[in-house]
Amino acid sequence: MDVVILFNGLGNQMSQYALYLRKRRLSASTRFIFSKKSTNIHNGYELDKVFGIKYRDTFANKILYLIYCMLEYKKFRVISKPVIRLLNLAGVTVINENNNYNFQPGILQPRKGLTFYAGGWHSEKYFREVRDEVLHCFQFDLSQVGATNLEILKDIRSRSSVSVHVRRGDFLDSNNYQKYGAVCTLNYFVCAIGKMKELVDAPHFFFFTNDYPWVRENFTGEDVTIVNINAGADSWKDMFLISNCQHHIDSNGSFSWWSSYLNKDERKKVIVPKNFVNNEYFGDIYPENWIQLSDY
């Protein structure tokens, strides 16, 4: 049995669930379980609230989660190491995605025994064969969006709209900055906006961010609207609005990635930073027709 671990925020959970859908097509015994380890910094299991994808914390799932935690337990090695060795001998293993985010074809192959898959799995190549099923699952419920967001949606649809997703916040933490936070600099957004103006007639830029003061300080003008109404448990509503823009300028994160990907218009222009991680290039992260900026 293969078990995909879902964890972290909404964008990560979507990538992980998309991998699950692909692996389930290959092996009907494939399951997914949700890891509660990251709920203190994210909003818990979001796929139900946003897309109606249920997760039942059944006895079987509790047991699977317990086994997974045992395999990943790194403290008190005198005790944990023999337990992990015994589980491995019984055919129970964990495959962790390493720091190379490129597509790994072997991840899709069913394995003997019990295998847990823990990673981001952000490349479209992991689920391209079930793309229609993925997009069918990730549909927003308009009744949950709210009147204010629906008014913004009207504005977005009335213009040549370009979303600009500026993720700062946790990316500025000391643990994240050198790896993720140093990628999308002010100059990246300035260059991306300039590039978009070359590609799109009369674009209007709708900014979505977790750092409103920084965006307000650096981007002004009649062609700029800053959306600052969705935070915390309502952050998913920004994804809904972004996905309805005609074109996109992304940050290097899964929330940006999925917000743009859910726009089904084949004429869309999507600008992304070439490096998803600072000073490292992974060619499989972005769909081939997205525009990757490197010189900024």
For residues 273 and 149, membership in a common domain is answered with yes
DSSP string, the chain: -EEEEE-SSHHHHHHHHHHHHHHHHH-TT-EEEE-GGGTTTS-S--HHHHH-------HHHHHHHHHHHHHH--SSHHHHHHHHHHHHHTTEEEEE--S--S--GGGGS--SSEEEEES----GGGTGGGHHHHHHHS---GGGT-HHHHHHHHHHHTS-EEEEEE--GGGGSTTTIIIIITTS-HHHHHHHHHHHHHHSSS-EEEEEES-HHHHHHH--STTEEEE----GGGTHHHHHHHHTSSEEE--SSHHHHHHHHT---TT--EEEES-SBTTB--TTSS-TTSEEE---
For residues 156 and 75, membership in a common domain is answered with no
For residues 208 and 244, membership in a common domain is answered with yes
For residues 67 and 157, membership in a common domain is answered with no
Structural domain range at position 261: 142-293
For residues 118 and 154, membership in a common domain is answered with no
Last residue of one domain, picked from the residues 133, 151, 184: 133
For residues 123 and 250, membership in a common domain is answered with no
Q: What is the pLDDT of residues 227-246, one digit of tens each?
A: 999 988 999 999 999 999 99
For residues 148 and 269, membership in a common domain is answered with yes
Last residue of one domain, picked from the residues 98, 133, 168: 133
Q: What is the pLDDT of residues 51-95, one digit of tens each?
A: 999 999 999 999 999 999 989 877 766 667 788 888 888 899 999
For residues 13 and 110, membership in a common domain is answered with yes
For residues 128 and 155, membership in a common domain is answered with no
Residue 181 has pLDDT above 80, yes or no: no
Q: What is the pLDDT of residues 197-231, one digit of tens each?
A: 999 999 999 999 999 999 999 999 999 999 999 98
Last residue of one domain, picked from the residues 133, 164, 188: 133
Question: Number of folded domains in the chain?
Answer: 2
For residues 113 and 153, membership in a common domain is answered with no
For residues 278 and 245, membership in a common domain is answered with yes
For residues 200 and 218, membership in a common domain is answered with yes
CATH number (domain holding residue 269):
3.40.50.11350
Q: In the predicted model, what is the mean pLDDT of residues 147-156?
A: 97
Residue 153 has pLDDT above 60, yes or no: yes
